[in-house]
Amino acid sequence: MDFNLSPLNKLVIKTAKAFCEREIPKIDAYMQEHKDYPPNLQEIFAKHKMLGMDVPKEHGGIGADNFNLILVAEEVGKTATTCMLPFFMNNSVAETICHWGTDEVIKKFVPPLCDGSAWASMAFTEPNTGSDPRALTLTAEPDGDDFILNGTKRFISMANKPGYGIFFAKDLSMKGKPFDTTAFVVDKMTPGITFSGHYELMGLDGADTCDVFFKDVRVPKANILGKQGKGFPILLRWIAGERVQQCAATIGGGQAALDESIKYGNQRVVGGFPMGYMQGFSWMLAEMKTKVEASRLMCYKTVKLQDEKVKGFEAASSELKVFTVPMIQEVCRQAVQFHGSYGYSKEYKVEKLFRNAMHAGVVASSLEINKTIAGMTILTQK
């Protein structure tokens, strides 16, 4: 077992860090002013070839493994920027289309997601379900060479940006069959699609999360991803990888919270000494560091399972979330506490890190559904 990072891993981290230091402050400044992403955001990522990282080279990507991708995710997570969401989404949706799509679908949709001209979305959640395919109410009815989609999707990120989303619908042509969820690659600017305003979220400042309304929206049959009625496994595979990226970014946030606390503990003088050297505070730093370190090691192990295509990776990614998210949320809470009243102020980064960390427990699958996945796997595996 080798815990050392390779020269490639180290250069990936160094490059990601340099990108974050140069580009993220400008992006965040725009988002603070406009409450939305810069229109050229994906072009910025594309210019640095950070899109299509896990897309095979033959489809225009870099062909990187997931381990290197999560090293980037951790660096981006340290900045507490919301623009990590579009970065993750374009990468993961392009990879998903490559995995499940026909040559025609791949050629049509993957290059724009890699060159930054299109924004990706993933849309399963509806007003009354976030994880149960039987409860879907977005319907898809065949009509000639098309399907007609009607219904509503909820909490969809980057939905109102031009590009492509994978939308999951109840396929009315599969009525009576055991599985009736079909995944469609949808051009989000298709006539009949409208959007709500942005949700005001607790964290992820400036995110464009909104509802998507379908009214007689025509989607070509050729845009079906995978097989009809077999859409749910596409979601499960995607979200297993998304959980790892989300955890890596959250761990990055935890590391940043720790770093901020170390800095504050050295700077703030109490009774003639730096505050951090008081036992109560040094113990807090010790607890924070061990939580971050344990989470990071578990994340690295999990992503190795993903890269080695080990059976059971999906359950392992749920276990990762079950462990990591409460750990890092606690680290961020401790960081706020460490800063005292300043930690509750928007002047200090830990306030934002704390709010961001809370998203990981409920977005891209809740902690509770992950406990169910992990627990049921333990009971049923032989």
Residues that bind other proteins (CB under 8 A): 7-8, 10-12, 14-15, 18-19, 22, 47-50, 53, 62-64, 68, 72
Closest to other proteins by CB, 10 or 134: 10
> What angle, 0 to 180 degrees and rounded to 10, lies between the N-to-C axes of helices 313-338 and 367-380?
140
C-alpha distance from residue 154 to each of 54, 61, 157, 254 (Å): 27, 30, 9, 28
Q: Least separation, in Å, of the C-beta of 33 and other proteins?
A: 24
Q: What number of other Cβ atoms are within 10 A of residue 200's Cβ?
A: 9
Q: Least separation, in Å, of the C-beta of 247 and other proteins?
A: 21
Closest to other proteins by CB, 63 or 191: 63
- Return the sign of the alpha-carbon dihedral for residues 274, 276, 279, 280: positive
Q: Least separation, in Å, of the C-beta of 71 and other proteins?
A: 11
Closest to other proteins by CB, 14 or 107: 14
Q: Least separation, in Å, of the C-beta of 12 and other proteins?
A: 6
Closest to other proteins by CB, 34 or 47: 47
Q: What number of other Cβ atoms are within 10 A of residue 62's Cβ?
A: 17
* Amino acid letter for position 359: H
Closest to other proteins by CB, 61 or 203: 61
Tokens linked to 82? 């919301």
- Cα–Cα distance between 43 and 40 in angstroms, integer? 5
Residue 379's contacts (CB-CB under 8 Å, 6 or more residues apart) are: none
Q: Least separation, in Å, of the C-beta of 19 and other proteins?
A: 5
Q: Least separation, in Å, of the C-beta of 192 and other proteins?
A: 37
Closest to other proteins by CB, 6 or 194: 6
- Cα–Cα distance between 228 and 329 in angstroms, integer? 39
Q: Least separation, in Å, of the C-beta of 42 and other proteins?
A: 14
Strand 163-171 relative to strand 119-123, pairing: parallel
DSSP string, 123-146: E--BTTBSS-GGG---EEEEETTE
DSSP state letter for 102: -
Closest to other proteins by CB, 20 or 316: 20
